[in-house]
Structure 1
Amino acid sequence: MAELGVNRNGGYADKRVQYDAPGAVSELSAAMKWLWRKEGVPEVVVCIGTDRSTGDALGPLVGSNLIGARIHPIRVLGTLDDPVHAANLTEMIRAYPAILSSRVLAVDASLGKLSDVGSITASFGPLRPGAGVNKQLPPLGRYHLTGTVNVGGFMEFFVLQNTRLNLVMKMASCISEAFVHSLGLG
C-alpha cells in the first residue's frame, strides 16, 4: 500500500504517481485513502481549471467524470459544464462560504519539470491555484491533487494552450478512477 511519508520538517511528504505506471490507479487510490484516514473523506471536491485551455482542462475533466460516477453525498464543483477558474473562484467561495470550513479536496493542473510531466501528486494542505501562471488567488482545500501536464518556467499560458489533450484526458481518468476506488465505490 502506498503511503505518504513524513518529511524532515515533521510535515507530511507528498505522494507522486505517474499516471501511466502499472498500478497507478491503485497506488493513487491508496494515497488518497491515507489522506482520508488523516483528515476524513472530503465533503467537497473543487476541480479548478477551464476547458478553454487544453492543459488547464484537467480539473473540469475530473469534475465531470466524478459527477458521472455519482459519488453522493460528496459535492463536486468545477466541471466542463460549469467550470471553476481564476475568473470565478472568489465568487464561488462567496456563493458557498461553508466551503472554507469543509473538508475540501482541490484538484488542479500544474506545470513542472520535464521529468514530472504525467505525474499526479497527492498532498496535505491547501492548493494555491494559479501560482504556476503568477495569479494571486485564494488558497483552497484541506488536501489537494495536482497533475503536472507540461513543462513550466517560460511562457506558461502558451505552454498550457499547447498541452496534449490525450495526456490530460488520461490523467483525469486516472484521478477520477482512483478517487472512486478510494471511497470503496469501484
Structure 2
Amino acid sequence: MNLRNNLFDKKDGAARIPYDETNAAGDLAKAIKQLLPARITSRPVVIVCIGTDRSTGDSLGPLVGTLLEEKNLSSFFVYGTLENPVHAVNLAEKLDEIKKIHFNPFIIGIDACLGRLKSVGVIQAGEGPVKPGAGVNKELPEVGDIHITGIVNVSGFMEFFVLQNTRLHLVLNMAKTIANGLYKASLTYESNPIISAFKWESDREQDIQGRIGKV
C-alpha cells in the first residue's frame, strides 16, 4: 500500500481515469498501450499486483491479480493474487524471483494509494514505479517501469484506520476496471515479437524467391 499522496498531473505524462467513467477500461487500455515498450523488443511484460487481503483498502492489487488470473492472459505474466499476495514481507523476494524467471522484464506495478477526497475512485497510469512501504515504515524496493495506482480513500489522518474502513464495493469495482483495461491492452500487444519478426523475414524471403522463380 502506497500511503503517499500519489497524484499526478497530465503534464507529467500520467493518465487519470475515474473508475466509473464511461469506457474507463478502454481509456485505461489506451494509456497502458502508450506506456508499454515497442513490440519489436523481446522484453516480457510482468504485472506485479501489490497488497494484502487482510486490509480492505489494501486489497486492490491482489483483487486485480486474481481477476487477471481468471482471464488467462497470454501476453502478460501476473504476480500477486488473493491466494498468493505480494506484500511488504515478501516483496523483495518476489522481485528477485521474477528477475530469475524472466529476462529483463518490463514490470507494471499495481498498488492502492490514498489521496484527496475529490480524487477517490481515480485510477492513475504513468511512467515510473510505485513506491510501497510508506505506510509500514519500511524501506521497500520500488516496483515497476510503469505504474497503475488506484486512489481508494482519503489520506492525511489515521491512514491504517482509513484503510480498514474503505468500502470493498469501491475497491472491487476499481479492480475490475483495472483488470479489464489490462486485458484489453493485452489483446493487441504482441507477446513474442522475435517470433513475429522472424516470421516476417521468412515470409519476405519466400516472396522474393517466388518472384525470382517467375523471372
Bin of the TM-score, shorter chain as denominator length: 0.7 to 0.9
Unaligned stretches of 5+ in structure 1? none
- Does residue 93 of the first structure (1) align with residue 58 of the second (2)? no
Greater Cα shift, 40-49 or 20-29: 40-49
Give the aligned partner of residue 150 of structure 2. Answer: 147
Query: Is the contact made by 2:44 and 2:104 (CA closer than 8 Å) also made in structure 1?
Result: no
- What displacement does 1:136 show? 2.3
Q: Which digits, 9 at most, give the CA deviation of each residue in 1:61-97, with x for residues without a partner?
A: 0000111111124221100000000111012123333
2:151 counterpart of 1:157: no
2: CA distance, partners of 1:152 / 1:6: 21
| Partner residue in 2 for 1:29 | 29
What letter matches 1:64 in structure 2?
T
Distance 2:124 2:18 in 1: 9
Partner of 1:67: 69
Cα distance in 1 for residues equivalent to 2:134 and 2:44: 23
Question: In 1, distance between residues paired with 2:27 and 2:96?
Answer: 35
Gap regions ≥5 residues in structure 2? 1-8, 189-215
Percent of aligned pairs with the same residue? 47
Q: How much does 1:131 deviate?
A: 2.8
TM-score, normalization: structure 2?
0.76
Greater Cα radius of gyration, structure 1 or 2: 2
1:119 equivalent among 113, 122, 131: 122
Equivalent residue for 1:13?
A: 13
Identify which of structures 1 and 2 has the higher relative contact order when contacts are C-alpha pairs closer than 8 Å and 6+ apart: 2
CA RMSD of superposed structures (Å): 2.3
Instruction: Rate the CA distance shift 1:71–1:150 in 2: closer, same or farther, 3 A.
Output: same
